[in-house]
Copies of this chain bind each other. A is one copy, B any other.
Amino acid sequence: MESVNIKKLAQILNLSISAVSKAMRDSHDISKETKEKVLALATELNYQPNPYASSLRKHKSKTIAVIIPEIANNYFTLAINGIESIAQEKNYHVLIYLTHEDVKKEIALTKYLHGGRVDGVLISVSSTTTDYSHLHQLEENGLPIVFFDRVAECFNTVKVTTDDYESSYLATKHLIDQGCKKPAHLAMSDNISIGKKRKKGFVQALIDHGIPADESLIVECVNNDAADLDMIKQLLHEQRPDGVFAAVEQYALCVYEACQQFKLSIPREVKVICFSNLKTAAYLQPSMTTITQPAYEIGKEAAAILFKALEKKHFVLKDENIVIKSALMARASTMSDV
């Protein structure tokens, strides 16, 4: 099928290109009869206005970018579904970009976003991002940015997160309440805003309960399953903690693997709790106690705020932290007296 352009429509209808264009945009300059004729033919021939030409005219791409570190992660897939739920309502398209935790990729793709390709950005920064110039540049070019989950505190914009510090404090207290005398923490990189907060919550809970916050009981994982498993095995072997609070679900699954290899019983010898949106947490052997994050709601809220900024002419994104609470779901992996 030959593709139909506006020139062709104009030829067939014996109208000027400008008249057809105005008719398509429902202009007052064009009579109702002409508009109906144009629309009928456009529908018949499946005419689609060229999106780039139309973007140039309106300076609107009707597209937002979502930048995330990875996709094989229940948290981010849920957050994307939350974002999508709003974008579809607003008739916006969502461009999903993965940085694979690599700041170089993050920089390359933010460069690509300059110049009108998208109208706004939702971002959860990579674990290797320590300098934010590339994101400041986007902001300076007038592109609204909303952070979610992994935020950059130095930006004067909205950041949507869960209560990372409080939930981590609660998770650690839960281990102590269930009888742990020597809990360990599997931490995210200190570069990551939420990693820092989760570690802080762990340390404070220990201090408040008279347990020394021994640095050797805090292991910073690297998001590589094999390497993380090795570090966790070393931790279990050398320190023999009686509880583990994992900042990320994947680290907790490595604890399950290590305990299976060492024939250590969860929860009798080691209790396990972690931040997780794993659908199968309840069916694990043993079922896993989780801090369940409102990932869908966080994505939805971040998107709703971005769209406010896009829709209202004089809406300015304020420096604001929006916190949506997580919930502790106690299951067998932290049970006492077993």
Contacts and interface: CB of A to CB of B under 8 A. Distances in A.
Given A3-B141, A279-B253, A96 B93 contact: no
B72 A71 contact: no
Interface string A21-39: 0000000000000000000
Interface stretch (A10-18, A107-115, A179-187, A321-329): A107-115
Chain multiplicity (copies): 2
29 contacts: A1-B140, A3-B114, A3-B115, A3-B141, A3-B142, A46-B137, A50-B115, A50-B116, A51-B112, A51-B115, A51-B117, A52-B53, A52-B55, A52-B61, A52-B116, A71-B71, A77-B77, A81-B98, A93-B97, A94-B97, A95-B95, A95-B96, A96-B96, A253-B280, A253-B283, A260-B283, A280-B280, A280-B284, A285-B287
A174 interface: no
B287 A48 contact: no
A278 interface: yes
Contact of A283 (B53, B96, B137, B256): B256
Contacts of A117: 51-52
A86 to B, nearest CB: 13
A80 interface: yes
A3 B114 CA distance: 9
A46 B137 CA distance: 9
Interface string A251-262: 001001100100
A122 interface: no
Interface string A176-216: 00000000000000000000000000000000000000000
A74 interface: yes
A55 B3 CA distance: 17
A97 B93 CA distance: 8
Contacts of A111: 48
Interface size grouping (class) on chain A: 35 or more
A88 interface: yes
A29 to B, nearest CB: 24
Interface string A63-103: 00000000111100110110010001000011111101000
Residue of A53, A73, A256 with highest tally of chain B CB at under 10 A: A53
Contact of A285 (B140, B257, B286): B286
A73 B72 CA distance: 9
Contacts of A77: 71-73, 77
Nearest to A284: B283
A240 interface: no
A49 B98 contact: no
Nearest to A142: B3
A88 B72 CA distance: 17
Contacts of A283: 253, 256-257, 260, 284-285
A227 interface: no
Contacts of A95: 93, 95-96
A56 interface: yes
Residue of A48, A61, A284 with highest tally of chain B CB at under 10 A: A48
A123 to B, nearest CB: 16
Contacts of A105: 88
